[in-house]
Amino acid sequence: MKRMLVAAACLCLVVAVEAAKIKVKAEPDPGFDFATVRTWAWDADAGDVIMARTQDDDPAALKARIDPLIRKFVGAAMTKKGLALATGGTPDVQLHYYVLVTVNQSGQYMGQFLPAVPYWGLPAFSAGATTSLSVVTRGSLVLDALLPGKPGDRLVVWRGIAESTIKDDDSMKTREARLRDAADGLVLRFPLKKKQ
């Protein structure tokens, strides 16, 4: 009985860790020489929040809560990376973030993965019976590094995307930790030299 309880507790822990994973990917401009980047600054309007869950979503309220956190966590990660915040003059790159909050769903139905004509002679399953349905809120933090210039003419030289699921009942402490991890993961993938 004790072993079963320990196994169940371990399974719950693995499920909780899997649910909190953050997928991070980044793509640099292969023609840009990142060895020239020494300083950075936030764009004039540092970020945008886009929500597409319900008609009652308030992107402005969410931005007011998370904008200072994103600026703090990304700034700390950029300093750790060895890049300095430009205090005067033109920075080498300007950062702009996007926060996207959407609903994602996936479903499966009985017999979905069987061939059209099973080899063992059983008749096909009836179509349309959903046996598994998952609806989750997904959050993405997108971080762009742009070359300074006029707002319409700037070139994005690097884009990083961090994605994770969000629970409505997550505490603010949990959400802050997830934002910090996302910022760290994104900046970690910011290249400091040109790819060969």
CA–CA separation, 58 and 12 (whole Å): 33
- pTM value is 0.72
Residue 114 has pLDDT above 80, yes or no: no
- Residue 128, pLDDT > 60, answer no
Average pLDDT, whole number, for the chain? 78
How many Å apart are CA 149 and CA 186, to the nearest integer? 23
Most confident stretch, 44-48, 112-116, 144-148? 144-148
**pLDDT higher than threshold 90 for residue 97:** yes
Query: What is the rounded distance in angstroms from the CA atom of residue 49 to the CA atom of residue 101?
Result: 8
- Looking at residue 11, its pLDDT comes to 45
CATH of 21-188, one of 3.30.70, 1.10.260, 2.60.220, 3.30.160: 3.30.160
- Its sign, for the CA torsion 53, 54, 55, 56, is negative
- The 10s digit of each residue's pLDDT in 7-53 is 544 444 443 444 458 899 999 999 999 999 999 999 888 888 888 76
Mean pLDDT is lowest, of 33-42, 115-124, 134-143, for: 115-124
- pLDDT confidence of residue 18: 42
